[in-house]
Amino acid sequence: MAATSRGTTPEPPDVRPRLTVLSGPSGVGKSTVVAHMRKEHPEVWLSVSATTRRPRPGEKHGVQYFFVTDEEMDKLIANGELLEWAEFAGNRYGTPRAAVLERLDAGEPVLLEIDLQGARQVRESMTDAQLVFLAPPSWEELVRRLTGRGTEPPEVIERRLDAAKVELAAEPEFDETLVNTSVEDVARELLSLMDVV
Ligand SMILES: Nc1nc2c(ncn2[C@@H]2O[C@H](COP(=O)(O)OP(=O)(O)O)[C@@H](O)[C@H]2O)c(=O)[nH]1
Ligand SMILES: Nc1ncnc2c1ncn2[C@@H]1O[C@H](COP(=O)(O)OP(=O)(O)O)[C@@H](O)[C@H]1O
């Protein structure tokens, strides 16, 4: 059902989009899939997380992430400004709460691209959220993608592959699994799960 333009009429609850969470091991292709999806469907609102990780070449503050200091992250956490947060491979990452709630209230499809620990926290705090796991076609292909991306030194890749083993084992906790063989196919399936197409 399409939303009406009558500003004073509240939307019936069954058309309010569910929050969707996309998780999966580092290097599986989450950013690639999301970028592809949003090129054709910019109406999907992607939360921009805060992180203490350093920007990669080409990453911009406020676009891929809000790049913050340890002290700034401490404050965000202490002030309850994050919907969820986690430490991943030596850095902290968190979802600013207010923007997510605003967009959901406005009836927009909202996507979080976050790690397993964050997905578990969202499951606790927003019980109607839909949790989607992005899986690699094989372990070898995951290693190939993470190494081939060329953005991390070998010791960081090792940490991320250790985390990947834990994340792959948690796949049954998710509502849906999509295997990232084809970016186009996965992007379409994700749009369909989000009721965008
Ligand atoms: N819990 C949580 N995880 C996040 C958040 N933002 C990003 N992540 C996750 O942190 C992990 C590392 O992200 P990043 O350093 O950008 O590396 P990449 O995902 O491998 O490109 C990934 O699993 C992201 O999904 C967040 O706000 N909260
Ligand atoms: N379906 C796919 N087939 C082949 N390579 C892919 C596919 N999806 C992503 N990649 C490549 O894998 C690497 C990691 O993708 P990325 O989107 O950065 O992963 P993530 O955000 O999950 O860490 C990138 O070099 C990307 O171009």
Q: What angle do CA 20, 35, 169 make, to 5 degrees?
A: 50
Section 141-158 average pLDDT: 94
Q: Write down the pLDDT at residue 4.
A: 45
The DSSP secondary-structure symbol of 181 reads S
Residue 47, CB-side half-sphere exposure with 13 Å CA sphere = 27
At 71-124, the pLDDT tens digits run 999 999 999 999 999 999 999 999 999 999 999 999 999 999 999 999 999 999
Mutate to test the pocket of ligand 2, among 22, 149, 189, 190 (most ligand atoms within 8 A of CB): 149
94 in contact with ligand 1, CB cutoff 6 A: yes
Cβ neighbors of 63 (< 8 A, separation 6 or more) are 48
Q: How far is the CA of 124 from the centre of ligand 1 (A)?
A: 19
What is this model's ipTM?
0.98
> Comparing C-alpha atoms, which of 165, 191, 187 is closest to residue 31?
187
Closest residue CA from atom 15 of ligand 2: 29
pLDDT of residue 11: 55
Q: Which atom of ligand 2 is nearest to the CA of 148?
A: 25
**CA 93 / ligand 1 centre spacing (Å):** 7
Please state, as a whole number, how many other Cβ atoms lie within 10 Å of the Cβ of residue 108: 14
Nearest of 93, 103, 96, 121 to residue 30 by alpha carbon: 93
pLDDT band at 17 (very low <50, low <70, confident <90, very high): confident
DSSP secondary structure code for residue 16 in this structure: S
Round to whole Å and give the CA distance between 103 and 20: 12
56: alpha, beta or left, given left = phi > 0 and alpha = psi -120 to 50?
beta
- Tens-place pLDDT, residues 18-57: 899 999 999 999 999 999 999 999 999 999 999 999 999 9
Residue 9 alpha carbon to ligand 2 centre in Å: 42
Q: Whose CA is nearest to atom 7 of ligand 1?
A: 114
Torsion of CA 94, 97, 99, 104, to 10 degrees: 120
DSSP letter (8 states) at residue 61: B
Q: According to the model, what pLDDT value does residue 16 have?
A: 62
Output the CA 143–ligand 2 centroid distance in Å: 11
pLDDT of 10 reads 60
31 annotated to bind ligand: yes
Helix (H, G, I), strand (E, B) or coil at 30: helix
pLDDT-based confidence at residue 1 (cuts at 50, 70, 90): very low
CATH match of 15-193 with 3.40.50.300: yes
Helices (H), the chain: 30-40, 70-78, 97-105, 116-125, 139-149, 154-169, 183-193
